[in-house]
Amino acid sequence: MDLGILTLLPMVVLFVLIFTTKRMLLSVTAATITGSILLGGWKFAAVWLEKVQAAFSGGTLGYLYLLLALFGILIALLDASGSVTEFAMWLSKYANTRKKALLITYILGWLIFVDDYLNNMAIATAMKKVCDSHRIPRTFLGYVINSTAAPVCIAIPISTWAVFYSGLFEDFGVTTGGSGASAYIAALPYMFFAWISLIIMALVILGVIPMFGITKKHTKLAEETGVVCPADVSYTGEAIMAPDFASIQAENEGKKAHPWNFLVPLIILVVVTLLTDINVMLGCMAAIAVTGILMLLQKKVKLTQLFDNAYNGVVSMVAICTLITMTMTLVEVNTATGMADYVVETLKPFLNGAYLPALVFGFCAVYSYFGGGFWDMAMIFIAIVVPLANGLGVDPLISCAALVCASAAGSTTYVCGDAVMVSSRAVDIKPYYQMKGTLPYAIISYVLTTIAFLVVSFI
């Protein structure tokens, strides 16, 4: 079935509804139903159910469910034990200004480079209360955390992103000394989106680049009222107020805030993840075990309360899992309608000449933002980009670097992407507002990255 331009209709429905209703689940479900109607006509209900089942059978959904459940348990236990509050109180001695709190958040983003999900969840858990105390709005914190995750993961060659793309490079013959990993390392100087995004973020934190858009609006609101997250932006629908650490410290006068109940599980999480070939789930399970043992040894909870908190942690992730189910269903629908094939065939005539890397980044970044899919997008386009680069005499390494950059660009901005949904849940805001807070700064990075690829193409 050749649907032609109609293959884009589900994504048009998605974005029209997102920007008009701001209701994510409604928008993405409507998009899946639209695609199912294109595929099955009056039998769209059967097609829709088939695509939901296909989403479950793919493996990615099960992985995300389990990973989010484990993160939910860990966060719930750390919160119930008081470890997060103690860590925030301890850290507030060092992060005693707004700028210092944001710089520490930024530095932590570099330190937790193993995986973007781990980066989002761990840093948000560590820094939310500290940043709240300085009246930093959650939309701005979400921008800092989300826009650090993928760029850092592609900039440091021992992350889940680096492992995936090294393998992909090798599969398509893009190697240095016969190694895809060596080729990936050689391509690092050309990962312009990562470097530019991280530099822009640092400049925004330092005040060199002013805030604008929704982050500026919410910063003013937070400073004037103490509301760091308005009710309509909050994931739970309840406004989040800046905590008064001075009052909390006065209530606990004489008690010393210890960071280790928070830091030890976090260190265990990162170390075990690295030692098990970047298996984030095993790292998370080890951190949960350590947290539970510490809570029981310190008699902070009874065993039954420990399991109650763990259960509540899983329940807290149900809403985001439902939303991810629909987004994965939309991926299946778009695959069945042939949207990727249509886009590739439409773009092929334009992918030529010395400016190939800039075109690859520009087209693929836009595709990632509107069409979703980051790693799978790269798998589709690399099969075209590498032969085309070789045929045109363009260095395939630079074109592949452009492809990686496009994936990272989409990951940080696509409103229905798993990365945006995970980061938005981590900072307790709705995905639409996570995207809206990030997009203005990401557009600057898009433009500068495109210019950088144009420049390097003609050197």
| pLDDT tens sequence for the chain (459 residues) | 678 888 889 989 988 998 888 888 898 899 999 999 999 889 989 999 999 998 888 777 888 888 889 989 998 998 888 888 888 888 878 888 899 999 999 998 898 888 888 888 888 888 888 899 899 999 999 999 999 999 999 998 888 888 888 888 888 888 888 888 889 999 999 999 999 999 999 999 999 999 988 999 999 999 999 999 999 999 888 899 988 766 555 555 555 667 888 889 989 998 998 888 878 889 999 999 999 999 999 888 888 999 999 999 899 888 888 888 888 898 889 888 888 788 878 877 776 666 888 988 988 888 888 776 677 778 878 888 888 888 878 888 999 999 999 999 988 888 877 788 888 988 999 989 999 999 999 999 999 999 999 998 777
Residue 233 placed within a domain: yes
Residue 395 placed within a domain: no
Confirm if 252 and 239 have CB atoms less than 8 A apart. no
Distance of CA 148 to the CA centre of its chain: 9
Token pair for 132 = 């709240």
Residue 419 placed within a domain: no
Q: Which of 152, 77, 142 is nearest to 110 (CA)?
A: 152
pTM of the predicted structure, to 2 decimals: 0.86
- For residues 180 and 396, give the distance between their C-alpha atoms in angstroms, rounded to a whole number: 12
Domain that holds residue 277: 60-156+190-318
Confirm if 254 and 89 have CB atoms less than 8 A apart. no
Indicate the Cα dihedral angle 28, 34, 36, 39, nearest 10°: -140
Confirm if 109 and 159 have CB atoms less than 8 A apart. no
Residue 335 placed within a domain: no
Length of the chain: 459
Task: Please tell me whether residue 207 adopts helix, strand or coil conformation.
Answer: coil
CA–CA distances in Å: residue 322 to residues 26, 74, 405: 11, 20, 29
Residues 353-398 pLDDT 10s: 668 889 889 888 888 887 766 777 788 788 888 888 888 788 889 9
State the pLDDT at residue 257: 62
> Number of helices and strands (H, E) in the chain?
23, 2
Confirm if 384 and 343 have CB atoms less than 8 A apart. no
Confirm if 120 and 264 have CB atoms less than 8 A apart. no
Residue 390 placed within a domain: no
Residues 71-126 pLDDT 10s: 899 989 988 888 888 888 888 788 888 999 999 999 988 988 888 888 888 888 88
Handedness of CA 16, 31, 417, 238 (dihedral sign): positive
Give the total number of structural domains in the chain. 1
Confirm if 197 and 151 have CB atoms less than 8 A apart. yes
